[in-house]
Structure 1
């Protein structure tokens, strides 16, 4: 079974939950509205999930989707979030968007509602109670307000790197600020470097308890 990207995981999760609640598969339009994408992009996502062995497409129906839940693959469990790689609380680590596992935690416990989890590597956010090995809950979105904590993607090498930090932008300068007085702020000059916000921090899980 081929691993899924973050977007594919979101799509499969929505399809699974929709079928559980409504008793029928969603249409391409339903999926497009949920993910904020075009109907064509939703169509491509469904076919990709089918190619990876997670769905079966039944021709001739706008709701022609069947989840594959045999011994080789189990659909995402309800009240859970996908764990997608690591995020640095310290020097940035290489980014990945493949799902490592599903963690049983109700997304509604967080605000805003997150889309996925990443495992923390480092102690740069220790003053917020985020410890090495904790899981941070993240909502996928490309923007944030000054002062919010974000998962940021940096493009300083061959592969993108990600880190969790407090975000602040002043003109062409972005500051990614640790919550640990022993660590330095990462400063990005947007005229010289590429930078993206991967998502917004929603809370974290430590010792089986969520904190916000």
Structure 2
């Protein structure tokens, strides 16, 4: 899962490589993401490399290789798009000016979701958050939740993060889902079906896997994106 800025940078790098055949410079990345310094780009590049999305090639200038793309991008018909900064058009890099601008979509933040011990079911909108359209997984309704707790930290989900959820009532083994337990408690966990039981798995060894009869668990949505504020 990527933060908004990480996703924007990956979009921009792939788009420029598709256009020019070479990655953009750090200055071009900085301008495209409207960052004040190249140190922010260095941090984003490092994060993308640590998550296995890109690789830096040694002894070659501006040498980046894209290894994989997030699920939301790596599908037929997907065209990478980048959120442009608010600088005047004359100051923008030539290639960046040709890239289509992404318009963020407003999603309702439906309160908080426990990445830990389940909390009361979520039913009210607390506020709205702007989400890049490229983060949304195809058709369907989406909503956002603020994460509370640390049980999913090894999946890259921290306390205070905003998770983007695609509304659906089914899940594949291994999906990270919003699960409603006994129509009363909501939690963010990895979903696995084992016979007539549902395993809700944490991504933190400090928390045990919960095994519940399948009739006690209702899938409310699947995780498709994450937003983190620094």
Query: How does the TM-score come out when normalised to structure 2?
Result: 0.52
| Mapped pair 1:162 → 2:186 | yes
1:174 has 2:201 as partner:
no
Instruction: Give SS of 2:137's match.
Output: coil
Correspondence for 2:114 = 88
Unpaired runs of at least 5, structure 2: 1-102
Name the CA distance, whole Å, in 2 between partners of 1:177 and 1:143.
16
Would the aligned equivalents of 2:113 and 2:119 in 1 still touch at CA under 8 Å? yes
Question: Counterparts in 2 of 1:2-41, with a 5 A limit?
Answer: none
| TM-score between both structures, scaled by the size of structure 1 | 0.56
Please, what is the CA RMSD of the aligned residues?
Answer: 2.0
Please identify runs of 4+ aligned residues in structure 1 that moved more than 4 A.
none
The reply to whether residue 203 of structure 1 matches residue 225 of structure 2 is yes
Instruction: Classify the secondary structure of the residue corresponding to 1:127.
Output: helix
User: How far off is 1:109 after superposition?
Assistant: 2.4
Q: CA deviation at 1:93?
A: 0.6
Residue 138 (str. 1) matches residue 162 (str. 2): no
SS of alignment partner, residue 108 of structure 1: helix
Measured in 1, the distance between the counterparts of 2:195 and 2:118 equals: 23
Distance 1:107 1:161, change over 3 A: farther
Structure-to-structure mapping, 1:46-125, within 5 angstroms: 79-112=105-138, 115-125=142-152
Preserved contact between residue 135 and residue 225 of structure 2 (Cα < 8 Å): no
* Residue number among 111, 120, 129 corresponding to 2:156 in the alignment: 129
Number of aligned residue pairs: 127
Separation in structure 1 between the aligned mates of residue 118 and residue 226 of structure 2, nearest angstrom: 18
Give 1:137 deviation, angstroms. Answer: 0.5
Gaps of 5+ in 1: 1-76
Indicate conservation of the 8 Å contact 1:142/1:199, yes or no.
Answer: yes
1:142 shift after superposition: 0.3
User: What is the deviation of 1:96?
Assistant: 2.0
Task: Using the TM superposition, give the Cα deviation of residue 78 of structure 1 relative to its aligned residue in structure 2, in angstroms.
Answer: 6.5
Deviations 1:102-150 (A, max 9, x none): 1122243243566110110100000111100111100000000111111
Which of the residues 207, 211, 229 maps onto 1:183? 207
Q: Aligned partners of 2:138 and 2:193: how far apart in 1?
A: 22
